[in-house]
Structure 1
Amino acid sequence: MECRTMKVFDILKETLTIFYKNINFVFFTILTSLPLFCFLIYYETFLQKFLFQCIENLPLLERTSYIPLYYDPYYGQYYDPWSLPVDIVRNLNKYHFNELIQMGFLYLVPLHLLELFSLLVTVDLSSKIYREDKALTFMDMLHLRIDKARTGATVITFLYVVFLSTCTLLAFIWLLITYSAVLMIPTPESEIVLYNSVGMSSLGFDLFDHLLYGSNLFLQVIIYLPWCAIWNLGLVISILEGTCGLKALGSAVYLSLKSLVNGVSLVIIFTIWELGLRALCLYFGSYKTWLGIVGQISLLCLGNALKWVSFVVYFQDCVRRVSRKKTDQEQNVDMRESKAMFV
């Protein structure tokens, strides 16, 4: 391939070129994505129904979660905002406990296993097509052999990524619940009176709480995006090179030092694609119709395939950058040694 520095739009262009010039790869990707496609029809329908019920019941959950901190005869009752997330989650478990357990199981086990299978095939084939710069026949793809050692390394790295991403997602959801709960506390004159170690202090509700929780949410997003880019690149490294776990993630950090902006940009693009589709389908109630849910899942699977192929191209670009840097350093060393010999 041409040795040049790529921007994010160049990576996306190369990704689309791989799909456009390799119709057999498109058909094979669709074929291997069928198990994930069928499962997502059930999973997305269940998820959107659950989210719709939570949105409908959110005012009830918040009203039942208001616990007075103390009673003042002049101002009335004040509420402790720090206990509200716990109470909302407790009430959510009371009303939707079975749905929460079922959704957690579907997310952690079958969804990730099917995504792993699709990931292995898509990354391996797209890497061969892009690296060798030639199309593969359908029979070549059917005779695909995945090395057991690389598969085992990928599974280990995948477990690391699932654990880290799930913990980050739970922290983000907890912060969102806290933010929405505190903002809807019914307090007189838009003030909250809290007890602290010194005594009682009155805080301006609008300014202080928006700054506090808004900055925390923004900071978590800023931290999450580079992590997500590194996790995805680490999975690609595990599949293509057979490194596993923290070693693969460490290699991803090293390779992406000079081009992390491209990785973050890819994460932003495909996250907007995924969340935007879910938000639109939830808003229009697409899960209620067969055509709506099939259309959403088709676009989700397309975005998933494009994402992993783009990270393969991104990985090759990172390798070229590092190789070029090493070559430049070796040439500089040789030049200094040559100058030293003539001095």
Structure 2
Amino acid sequence: MIEKLSVMELLKRAAKLLFSNISLASFLFLCSLPLFCFLIFFELSLQTTISLTYQFLSQELDLGRYFFLQDHKDLSENDLIPWLIQTSLLYFLPYTLLDLFTTTMIVAASSVAYTSEEESLVMLCLVRRSAKICQNRLVGCLITSLYVLFLSTSVFLGFFSDSVNYLFVVSLSRDYESFHNLAAVLFHAVVALIHGTVFIVLAVKFGNWSLGWNMGLVVSVLEEEEEDGKGIYGANALSLSYWYGRGHEKRDLLMMLMFLVLALETRMPCLYSRCSERSSGKGVLYTGLYVGLICVGNVVKWVACVVSYYDCRARVLEKKDDVEIGSKAKAFAT
């Protein structure tokens, strides 16, 4: 039996694949460049939207200075709605398409480099073989990405609903002096515990599901049906990805949570300091810095997913061969 790879071993193989092949690293850098440039603009819009939403909800729920920023100003729906529409349109249209293109090229190129017997691939050969993989898979990958977009948006709405519900419950106690009462303190602690538990459960589930969704995209790029040679996409790709991932749930959860925490931690300083509101240009510089880190983490994540795909696929095929050999031996004995 093939030994199961741990999270660190997956990341080591991904890093080794990137650092040992200059052509692959250069090609992935060029593929990620359009997404990097767009993400700077998108993240600035997202920061402004989150800041305005935070202030608007605090204002409407009458939370006073308990959650407010010190230099807040009164906001109306007309101040918030245009930013919500802009950020939503940027996310669902340009970002989704750019991310799909970048992901498809990263997965195809990583697969070519990982399965190639040549120690160092020439850039032109890598581009040609990657384009050959992607040319008939873009439609299937788009369908799978729509499934993933719908599922991930549903989880995000769960996060948002939990947060708004918590703020609403807190707003019911407008007299903050009442928090000195034991009953009020216990009530607030129970509410925080319930909503915190829901948030943690959603985060764990999101981390567990996200690898299945990511693996579904990898399957849509690399997997072929034996009958007609066409790709597998949509619900079939997601089902196959969960089948490949059986027995690796803890490892996959840990890996996805690592990348999720990394993405959140890189964003938090800029959100806290409100980089989008700085007129000196430092906000754009800080945003570009953490967007670059996110793009690097994105490349490592998808290369690790490709390594995980081949590891899980080899294990499944080995079990399948063992079952077939056992069946033939049993039939021969009888």
TM-score when normalising by structure 1: 0.81
> Residue 294 of structure 2 is aligned with which of 300, 320, 332?
300
Render the CA deviation track for 1:204-262: whole Å, top value 9, x for unaligned: 62244234323322332232222111100000000111101000001011111111222
Query: Deviations for 1:295-318, whole angstroms, at most 9, x for unmatched residues?
Result: 112111111111111110111111
Other-structure match for 1:197: none
Question: Using a 3 Å threshold, how does the CA distance of structure 1 residues 93 and 327 change in structure 2: closer, same or farther?
Answer: farther
Structure 1 residues 254, 151: closer, same or farther in 2, change over 3 A? same
Partner of 1:326: 320
The aligned counterpart of 1:206 is 188
1:260 to 2:249 alignment: yes
Are 2:35 and 2:98, in contact at CA under 8 Å, matched by a contact in 1? Answer: yes
Aligned counterpart, 1:129: 113
Deviation at 1:131, TM superposition (A): 1.7
Q: Does 1:245 align with 2:234?
A: yes
Q: For structure 1, which runs of at least 5 residues remain unmatched after alignment?
A: 66-90, 192-201
Give 1:334 deviation, angstroms. Answer: 5.0
Matching residue's letter, 1:327: D
State the AA in 2 paired with 1:243: I
1:177-230 CA deviation, whole Å, 9 max, x = no partner?
111221343256559xxxxxxxxxx99622442343233223322322221111
Give 1:35 shift: 1.3
Contact 2:109 2:126 in 1 (8 A): yes
- Aligned partner (choices 309, 319, 330) of residue 303 of structure 2: 309
- Residues 254-293 of structure 1 mapped to structure 2, 5 A cutoff: 254-287=243-276, 288=278, 289=282, 290-293=284-287
Matching residue of 2:29: 30
User: Alpha carbons of 1:133 and 1:292: their partners in 2 closer, same or farther (altered >3 Å)?
Assistant: farther
Give the Cα separation in 2 of the matches to 1:104 and 1:174: 17
Give the letter for the 2:162 counterpart.
Answer: L
Whole-angstrom distance in 1 between the partners of 2:301 and 2:78: 38
| Distance in 1 of aligned mates of 2:232 and 2:268 | 37
Aligned residue in 1 for 2:41: 42
**What amino acid is aligned across from residue 288 of structure 2 in structure 1?**
V
Query: Is residue 183 of structure 2 the alignment partner of residue 183 of structure 1?
Result: no
Please, which runs of 5 or more residues in structure 2 have no aligned partner? 65-74, 224-230
Alignment partners' CA distance in 2, 1:9 and 1:101: 40
The answer to which of 311-320 and 277-286 deviates more is: 277-286
1:110 aligns with one of 87, 94, 106: 94
The one-letter code of the counterpart of 1:270 is F
2:148 alignment counterpart = 161
Task: Give the secondary structure class of the aligned counterpart of 1:244.
Answer: coil
TM-score w.r.t. length of structure 2: 0.83
Alpha carbons of structure 1 residues 92 and 27: separation in structure 2 relative to 1, 3 Å: farther
Aligned partners of 1:45, 1:276: CA distance in 2, in Å? 16
Instruction: Assess, with a 3 A threshold, how the Cα gap between structure 1 residues 266 and 42 changes in structure 2: closer, same or farther.
Output: same
Deviation at 1:291, TM superposition (A): 2.5
AA at the equivalent of 2:261? I
**Would you say the 8 A contact 1:234–1:248 is kept in 2?**
yes
Tell me the equivalent position of 1:15. 14
Matched, 1:141 2:111: no
The 2-side partners of 1:142 and 1:131 are apart by 15
Tell me the amino acid that sits aligned with residue 14 of structure 1.
Answer: R
Distance 2:59 2:117 in 1: 58
**Judging changes above 3 Å, is the alpha-carbon distance between structure 1 residues 147 and 24 closer, same or farther for their aligned structure 2 residues?**
closer
SS in 2 for 1:33: helix
Q: Which piece of structure 1 moves more, 319-328 or 124-133?
A: 319-328
Say which SS state the counterpart of residue 156 (structure 1) adopts.
Answer: helix
One-letter code aligned to 1:265 = L
What is the CA distance between 1:34 and its match in structure 2? 1.6
Q: 1:98-134 CA deviation, whole Å, 9 max, x = no partner?
A: 1101011001110010001101110001011112253
Distance (whole Å) between structure 1 residues aligned to residue 158 and residue 78 of structure 2: 21
Identical amino acids, percent of aligned pairs: 30
- My pick for the range that moved more, 321-330 or 299-308, is 321-330
Q: Relative to structure 1, is the Cα distance of residues 55 and 321 closer, same or farther in structure 2, using a 3 angstrom cutoff?
A: same
The CA RMSD measured in Å over matched residues stands at 2.6
Q: Secondary structure at the match of 1:109?
A: helix
Is the partner of 1:63 in helix, strand or coil? Answer: coil
Q: Specify the code of the residue in structure 1 equivalent to 2:311.
A: D
1:54 paired with 2:53, answer yes
> Greater CA deviation, 138-147 or 230-239?
138-147
1:337 CA drift (Å): 5.2
Quick one: structure 1 residues 92 and 117, their matched pair in 2 at CA, closer, same or farther if it must change by over 3 Å? Answer: farther
Given that residues 156 and 244 in structure 1 are in contact (C-alpha distance below 8 angstroms), is that contact kept between their aligned partners in structure 2?
A: yes
Q: Which has the higher strand share?
A: 1
SS in 1 for 2:172: coil
How many residue pairs get aligned? The number is 304
Which amino acid letter does the alignment assign opposite residue 266 of structure 1? M
